[in-house]
Amino acid sequence: MNPDAALLRLAHGRLSPRRVDRLLEKHGTPASAVRAIIGGGTGGIDVRDAVVVPAAERRAELESAGIDFVLAGEAGFPARLARYPDSPRWLFTRGTVDLGHPTIAIVGSRASTTYGLELAFAYGVAAARQGWVVVSGLARGIDGAAHRGALHGDGGAIGVLGCGIDVAYPREHALLIDDVADRGLLLSEYPPGTRPDAWRFPTRNRIIAGLADVVLVVEASERGGALITARVALDYGIPVYAVPGDIDRVTSRGCNALIRDGAFPILGADDLREVLGLVETTLPHR
């Protein structure tokens, strides 16, 4: 079996990335893992939900939907991600963006304030107009505002989804998701049709962090997904910036905690532009 075809079948198998890793560790090759799923000899690895359809059928479905399937190391796969050991093995993509530009992940709370939304939009515009690509998760709140700002600033945008690339989630972002696909790039490691189950989003956040040269947290609670992205970025050695806020406001507690723990504060759009001007000259662009 062609290795690429076997990986495509695994990618559509409705298996978590961790279970795919376990299958490949146990069986050695993608083709052997596929045969084990079909034959039921997975050695105790739960594959009850797996659906292993022939690769030719899957390729035809992707082509008709305008979706690309890109393996790690292939042209079109972001080389930034290859720097990290937990990088995805594959991505489903729609659209295109110049991956040679520097990238900033702008993330934050879904339950954002009007103030936070205005800041995220302004920071998206400021980054775009300096030639930076804005990466985010296209979630409600800060993510969506940052992407709208990037597009308003005629810049590039990368949206990393925690569901199938053909699934509009949240539904009110359907037009924004299409705009990012048309003028930027959508990414997901999950196959088309995958539901936005809650557990997928923390896993997705490592991709947002891995795509970024810089991470900016605008508003965040102490337990939100934005903090997961920031912590992953710090583990990766990626600079993390945060917007300080009212110490009594829930949506500021995560940012204030990051600053307490060593993140750099951002005090306005001019401050961000100055920071990006400095970072841009020191980071390798991939």
Nearest to residue 123, comparing CAs of 284, 281, 282, 255?
Answer: 255
Together in a domain, 150 and 269: yes
The DSSP symbol for 171 reads G
CA-CA distance, 124 to 89, in Å (whole number)?
29
Instruction: Answer whether residue 223 is part of any domain.
Output: yes
Together in a domain, 137 and 259: yes
**pLDDT value of position 102:** 94
Q: pTM of the predicted model, to two decimals?
A: 0.88
**CA distances (Å), origin 274, targets 130, 152, 197, 227:** 10, 20, 39, 24
**pLDDT value of position 63:** 86
Q: How confident is the model at residue 281 (pLDDT cuts 50, 70, 90)?
A: very low
Lowest mean pLDDT among 42-56, 177-191, 202-216: 42-56
Mean pLDDT of 117-123: 95
Instruction: Answer whether residue 134 is part of any domain.
Output: yes
Together in a domain, 244 and 182: yes
136: domain CATH number is: 3.40.50.450
**pLDDT value of position 42:** 56
Instruction: Answer whether residue 162 is part of any domain.
Output: yes
Together in a domain, 184 and 113: yes
Percent of the chain with pLDDT over 90: 54
Instruction: Answer whether residue 41 is part of any domain.
Output: yes
Together in a domain, 146 and 23: no
Together in a domain, 275 and 219: yes
Q: How confident is the model at residue 49 (pLDDT cuts 50, 70, 90)?
A: low
Instruction: Answer whether residue 266 is part of any domain.
Output: yes
Together in a domain, 173 and 242: yes
Mean pLDDT of 118-142: 95
Which residue range forms the structural domain that includes residue 35? 1-56
Together in a domain, 46 and 178: no
Together in a domain, 124 and 250: yes
Nearest to residue 134, comparing CAs of 109, 110, 115, 107?
Answer: 107
pLDDT at 283 exceeding the cut of 60? no
**How many of the other CB atoms lie within 10 Å of CB of 88?**
25
Together in a domain, 214 and 112: yes
Instruction: Answer whether residue 272 is part of any domain.
Output: yes
**How many of the other CB atoms lie within 10 Å of CB of 250?**
17
Together in a domain, 45 and 149: no
pLDDT at 224 exceeding the cut of 80? yes
Together in a domain, 131 and 272: yes
pLDDT at 45 exceeding the cut of 80? no
**pLDDT value of position 181:** 95
Instruction: Answer whether residue 286 is part of any domain.
Output: no
Instruction: Answer whether residue 73 is part of any domain.
Output: no
Q: How confident is the model at residue 100 (pLDDT cuts 50, 70, 90)?
A: confident
**CA distances (Å), origin 243, targets 115, 208, 235:** 11, 19, 20
Task: Give the strand order in the sheet containing 90-95.
Answer: 68-71, 90-95, 185-188, 157-160, 133-136, 103-107, 214-217, 240-242, 264-265
**How many domains are there within the chain?**
2
| Structure confidence by residue, pLDDT tens digits, 51-75 | 566 667 778 888 888 999 998 888 8
**How many of the other CB atoms lie within 10 Å of CB of 230?**
30
